[in-house]
Amino acid sequence: MTNVIPLGARRQAPMTCAPVTQPAPGPAALIEAVVRHRQPPNSVPWMKECAELLNILEVTRHVGQPLPEEALAPFLPVRARLEEMLRFFPQYYRFLLSIALDLEALGLAGDGEGIAGAMVERAARQGLARGELSDLQRAEARRLMARRGVDPLPDDRGLEPRLRAFAAGAERFALPNRKAAYELTHVVFYLSEYGRRDPGLSAEVARSLTHAGLVAFLDRDSDLLAEVCIALRQAGHRPPAAWEAEVGRTLQATRILPGAPGGMDGYHEAMVSAWLRAVSQGEPLAFDCPPGPCRFVPAPRDSALLPLSLALHDMPLRSADWERMRERVLYRLPPEARATVQAAEASTPDFPEFFAHFARAEPRRRRAC
């Protein structure tokens, strides 16, 4: 990972910070912050952050040095109460199973075979996966329980074909729809076992990812862009270098400051950006977090998505042909947005195809004689 370690001042110091150039000390400070300080224990945000952190640590565990056993010490009391949490919070079973399974994969199994197997059996016995309305959530449940040899949906043989059909709809991902784009990346994560096997995805799915990535690049959304780049790699494709560089610049500019996050902050963006850094450059996940509560402050971003959309919307005779529209579009954009669109265009030869869908231009009809 690059030096994302922008430590601001400590608790008594002014709230200013400068980039830190020395290597990060490892994930121990980050684990301590997430488990004990950032969110109220046992709350949904706390479960989500713990699950995300362990998931990324687990899928990148072969990058860099092995995770020291003592780094996971803050999770010892968490592990001790996971079974009781599953009994009391069955509606959050996916978070809880993910935490238990990843802790054991990282070496925190305790005596015997650990508790994850028993938790999986309980969740399957209670039919928790059958209560999901979303195919993506069913896929996550199936993937989690398969890690202990259990299929919670043995009769649903159409789940994977439905996921593949969704991911192959390239046109829908050329329009801004953050939820759909995140679902697309997670379909690839689950089908590829987080990069552990070839998911056998079609060329159309690669186009879907490219379209979603261009939307994220235009929006300067490094959170989504990082996930798209990871998914492309897991699908066997090399992401555009400009996209990964953009994620790296955003990660470098992220600041970690003392104080409670106060709701959503840049935690998830920093995590997935560091994950991309690990798989693309072989640098382990590491942030230097100050003692106590901390918050992740991402760099401000100048999105070109809205200016570009407005410019197109206001054109009465717009075309789906980028070459015909290029100068007209760029002329109507402010300088920052124009530079971002030009960078997006230069990042991939697929930009004209993306624009053909993004422009939403109706074919011109001939008048009747």
Which residue range(s) make up the domain with 142? 24-156
Q: Are 309 and 187 in contact (CB under 8 A)?
A: no
Q: Which of 51, 47, 40, 6 is nearest to 24 (CA)?
A: 6
In this structure, is residue 50 part of a structural domain?
yes
Domain membership of residue 162 (yes or no) is no
In a domain, 323, yes or no: no
Residue 15 clears pLDDT 60, i.e. is over it: no
Spacing of C-alpha 178 from chain mean position: 11
In a domain, 97, yes or no: yes
For 318, other C-beta atoms within 10 Å of its C-beta total: 18
Q: Is residue 195 part of a domain?
A: no
Say if residue 302's pLDDT is above 50: yes
How many folded domains does the chain comprise? 1
| In-domain check, residue 136 | yes
Lowest-confidence region among 2-6, 70-74, 184-188, 224-228: 2-6
pLDDT digits (tens, 9 = 90+) for 274-297: 999 999 998 888 888 888 889 999
Tokens linked to 58? 């687990």
CA distance 324 to 341: 15
Q: Which residues sit opposite 295 in a β-bridge?
A: 257
**Is residue 96 in a domain?**
yes
- Evaluate if residue 61 carries a pLDDT over 50: yes
The answer to whether position 59 is within a domain reads yes
pLDDT single digits (tens) 306-362:
999 999 998 888 999 999 999 999 999 999 999 999 999 999 999 999 999 999 987
pTM score of the predicted model: 0.89
